[in-house]
Chains A and B, each alone.
Chain A
Amino acid sequence: MIKKPKYVDESKCTGCKACVEYCPVKYPDQFNQEISQNKAIHIYFTQAIPLATYIDESCLYLKEKKCTICQAICKADAIDFNQTAEKVEVNVGAIVLALGFEPFDPKLRNDYGYGKFKNVVTSLDYERILSPSGAYEGEILRASDKKHPHKIAWIQCVGSRQVNPAGGNSYCSAVCCSYAQKQVILTKEHDAEAECTIFHNDVRSHNKDLERYFQKTEQLPGVRFIRSYVSIGKEIPESNNVTIRYTTPDDGVKEEEFDMVVLSIGLNPPTNYQALADKFGIELNSHGFCKTSLSNPMEATKPGVFVSGSFQGPADIPESVYTASGAGSQCGELLDYRRGKLSKERIYPPERDVSQEEPKVGVFVCHCGANISRVVNVPSAVEYALTLPNVVYAQEQLFSCATNSAKEIADMAKEKGLNRLVIAACSIRTLEPLFRDTLREAGINQYYLDMANIREHCSWVHSKEKEEATHKAKDLIRMSVARSSHLKPLQEFALNVNKTALVVGGGVAGLTSALSVANQGHEVYLVEKDTDLGGMARRIHYTLEGLDVQEYLHDVIRQVYQHPLIRVYTEAAITETGGFVGNFITKVKAQGRVTEIKHGATILATGAEEYQPIEYLYGKDDRVITHLELEEQIVKKEESLLNTRSLVMIQCVGCRNEDRNYCSRICCSESIKNALKLKELNPQMDIYILFRDMRTYGLKEDYYREAAGKDVRFIRYEAQDQPQVEEAVDEDGRNVLRISVTDLILGKKLEIDSDKLALAVAVIPSAGSQEAVDLFKVTTNQDGFFKEAHVKLRPVEFAVDGVYLCGMAHYPKHIAETISQSYAAAGRALTLLSRDSVVASGAVAEVNGNDCISCGACITACSYGAIEFIMTPQGRKAGVNPPLCKGDGLCNTVCPTGAIQLKNFTNEQILSQIDAAVAGL
């Protein structure tokens, strides 16, 4: 590797940015998409890691040996013009390629006016315009006159879903529909009066919870979704407005003026993909993304090289995260023998005992870039904090969460002898762990921390009332300071980790994760309620991309049965489960025997089921079948199918409606898959696909194009005008299914006589998932699919520690996606199982036996099953099992005698906060 010179010694740079202020060279800021200017020496972006400056190629000294002002300014003596490119050699056992994507450059095409008209921007430009740390500090402005645009248009599929020799990609970029909707919502938050128009093709809201997100966007006032191909008309010289030409079925061709146009650009493979592929000795697919195994999207063509994220093909954030964890798990399988040999544990300084000291509170008030300081007067809040009792130190910080700020906090705590810290910044939900860590670094017990949320609870919600917001920020700080003085040092405790895993569900998801965990040396118990392993995949024979599913499945099942570390229970039911992270106990009943399993981690892979339709004569006429039934007939080459002259498929049966307000995600591709197979069997067959939006996202788009090229006919219908099916007799006297549907392009009713009707039915949550919810105390979203701990960043784990999820129980998925997610669940489980102990929070509930009247109200209130009756010398009393307690305080509120208290949220602490709040009135 060549390490490029930054001309700044990172170990010395404090990130103070004095050099940036004095640097005379202004240069387009690449991080801000060159919309704004930065200096030749600068920090890449405000939260950069490492948070140090670097000097880019625009530097006068590097170009002409002039200037060196920065060297004179820098007090840390960090500027080093003698740095040269450094060759670094690294020896490793495996490689993960997470090369990402390159945004599509619309300049290449020259047809949307980008680079020519000032007020045409890309969606990534627009992100930097929306961002508080962006080009205009969070104000939406036009480049031409720096005024707020009122009428904004989004053009979808720029560089995607097009076959155009001048540039563009045939595939769908999979993320643009939803990010454009997000940008519309954010634009409306900035300016409620803004008029937003999205010109789109199919709306692809195929991922979890995105159908509702689309509806939310669509229902905002002043938002229009117009289904039309468009072209850019002209720039109007006086206003720099831009016109867009589009067509609607009612009005024909129209030309409309907009203040600003955002191009929803797609995702290209990384720049220089060919050179990179050659360097790593891997093959690419025809689009320039990494070529991967059909049954393993993380496996590149060279052993030991794995791939994650959008280098596999267009991917959103959760997919990038779980493929990363999946790649990690496979590295683990390869390198299990050397685990822990080279890594080092982090060591914290010893904890100072401050229990005998008077409270000495330090207050750090965060600007959050401009998120807080745009509204709240931060310097005045700092000044105010200094007047509060027990406060001995206060200062402001640009980003308290930045690495250097955390270090600054720790250093100040040591220097000033602080023993309580108040961070006035954002929600504890995101950053409390980080600041607790800062306290540990400073040698203070981590529970001596309080955060005043002056962002979500203040600047964001009171953006129009600056003075009052500042007042409120001061109130919040005063309350935090009051509480901090009553904080107690709490001890976390280490729990041993049982090295065994329990996997619930023996479909592709459960099989894959069980194998991956077992291949890393851990015992696995695999529990399946059916008589055979394989789950839903037993009914699937091939994938769109050509994987022989049965062959693959048999191979995986064989590996599972042969694995010395995996024990399989079929026809099994879980009767009881309990325990906590690292120490679960589950009872499994199989073949009349009950086995007690002790395990450290649990993976729930309970799958999904096929919706049994009541629509379209299903169950009444045996020519009406579901796609799984059609696939069966295709594989058996059934007579009735081969003789079919005309076959109709109807999409979105049983979902995207009021009962199931979500997209089942896989059905569009399934229909294309079966249509292509049928065309292979009988090219003469007339095939019609009646759809609402074709959602063949990502690289699957190519197959949609292929089907259209093979004369599969696609007819769009609207939700409120569903196709009608009746039994009829055609001109030749044959019994047919007559399907009538409105052709929206021709504007008239079509009648299709067909011999078979295949329904693309919804994927629905399994009964097993519901049982798991009750047993394992996990949660589902409103559609009944497992709810992950964080939709973006923790996609394969539950809020309950030590319990992981994967496969269709999370959301409908294709087999390859299920495999990725299952490896990911294994990878995340390994971060637990590979350790000897885990740490449980000290902020848990505690019962005072003297006050407990054994009413059991707290036991009912607890959603984690953390409280039960125990025998004590005073009799039967409620007792808390600390590792299970999440510290949510539900028990506190129901206890009639106040016997149960939450450490870190004691009455004393909360009352002191209330007193401080009232003191301001």
Chain B
Amino acid sequence: MEQELLLKEQIQQLCNRAGNNNFGDVMVVGGGISGIQASLDLAAAGYKVYLVDKAPSIGGHMAQLDKTFPTNDCSS
């Protein structure tokens, strides 16, 4: 427990020293279906994630598809 507090403090100090809040656990590059899933999983498992995409929106190519095989469910 004590160790954990120490670690938390250390991380906090590191954040402060960096002078900004841009301290995270994982950066996911690409906001298509794969990047979104990776981000969701990591966030649900207790990590702070930066998700980065070059387009103005996440979604990637899957958002461009009408439906998906073999169920023909809506893609976007």
| A interface residue numbers (CB < 8 A to B) | 1, 6, 31, 33, 43-45, 47-50, 54, 88-101, 103, 124, 127-128, 130-134, 178-179, 181-182, 185-186, 209-210, 212-213, 280, 308-311, 315, 317, 320-321, 323-325, 327-329, 331-332, 335, 337-344, 430, 791-793, 827-828, 830-831, 834-835
A337 near B30: Cβ-Cβ < 8 Å: no
Q: What are 13 of the A-B contact pairs (CB < 8 Å)? A: A49-B58, A49-B59, A50-B57, A95-B27, A98-B31, A182-B72, A308-B34, A309-B33, A317-B68, A321-B33, A324-B41, A332-B45, A342-B11
Say what secondary structure dominates the interface of chain A. mixed
Given A131-B66, A213-B70, A320-B37: A331 and B25 interface contact (C-beta under 8 Å): yes
A96 near B68: Cβ-Cβ < 8 Å: no
CB B7 to nearest CB in A, in angstroms, measures 7
Residue in chain B with minimal CB distance to A10: B56
B29 near A98: Cβ-Cβ < 8 Å: yes
Interface residues in B19-73 (C-beta closer than 8 Å to A): 20, 22-38, 41-48, 50, 52, 55-73
B42 near A91: Cβ-Cβ < 8 Å: no
A337 to B3, CA, bound (A): 11
A834 to B47, CA, bound (A): 11
B56 near A54: Cβ-Cβ < 8 Å: yes
CB A665 to nearest CB in B, in angstroms, measures 15
A100 near B70: Cβ-Cβ < 8 Å: no
A48 near B25: Cβ-Cβ < 8 Å: no
- With a cutoff of 8 Å between Cβ atoms, the chain B residues found around residue A344 in the complex are 48
CB A102 to nearest CB in B, in angstroms, measures 9
A830 to B41, CA, bound (A): 9
A133 near B41: Cβ-Cβ < 8 Å: no
A327 to B73, CA, bound (A): 26
B41 near A325: Cβ-Cβ < 8 Å: yes
A124 to B69, CA, bound (A): 15
Residue in chain B with minimal CB distance to A792: B68
A130 to B74, CA, bound (A): 11
B25 near A328: Cβ-Cβ < 8 Å: no
Supply 9 further A-B pairs (C-beta < 8 A) apart from A99-B29, A331-B26.
A1-B52, A45-B63, A45-B76, A50-B57, A308-B34, A308-B38, A324-B34, A834-B44, A834-B46
Name the one of A31, A43, A185 contacting B64, with C-beta atoms under 8 angstroms. Answer: A31
| B interface residue numbers (CB < 8 A to A) | 7-8, 11, 18, 20, 22-38, 41-48, 50, 52, 55-74, 76
Name the one of A48, A91, A99 contacting B23, with C-beta atoms under 8 angstroms. Answer: A91
Name the one of B20, B32, B68, B72 contacting A100, with C-beta atoms under 8 angstroms. Answer: B32
CB B41 to nearest CB in A, in angstroms, measures 4
A320 near B32: Cβ-Cβ < 8 Å: yes
A1 to B30, CA, bound (A): 13
CB A509 to nearest CB in B, in angstroms, measures 18
Residue in chain B with minimal CB distance to A371: B74
B67 near A186: Cβ-Cβ < 8 Å: yes
B63 near A100: Cβ-Cβ < 8 Å: no
A96 to B60, CA, bound (A): 16
Given A91-B23, A92-B50, A320-B32: A828 and B61 interface contact (C-beta under 8 Å): no
B34 near A210: Cβ-Cβ < 8 Å: no
- With a cutoff of 8 Å between Cβ atoms, the chain A residues found around residue B35 in the complex are 96, 98, 100, 308-309, 324
A342 near B24: Cβ-Cβ < 8 Å: yes
Given A44-B56, A185-B72, A332-B42: A317 and B26 interface contact (C-beta under 8 Å): no
A45 to B76, CA, bound (A): 10
Given A91-B18, A179-B69, A791-B70: A100 and B30 interface contact (C-beta under 8 Å): yes
Name the one of B45, B58, B65, B72 contacting A127, with C-beta atoms under 8 angstroms. Answer: B65
Which of A311, A315, A317, A329 has its CB near the most chain B CB atoms (within 10 A)? A317
Which of A6, A94, A835 has its CB near the most chain B CB atoms (within 10 A)? A94
- With a cutoff of 8 Å between Cβ atoms, the chain B residues found around residue A127 in the complex are 64-66
B11 near A338: Cβ-Cβ < 8 Å: yes
Which of B27, B69, B70 has its CB near the most chain A CB atoms (within 10 A)? B69
A212 to B28, CA, bound (A): 36
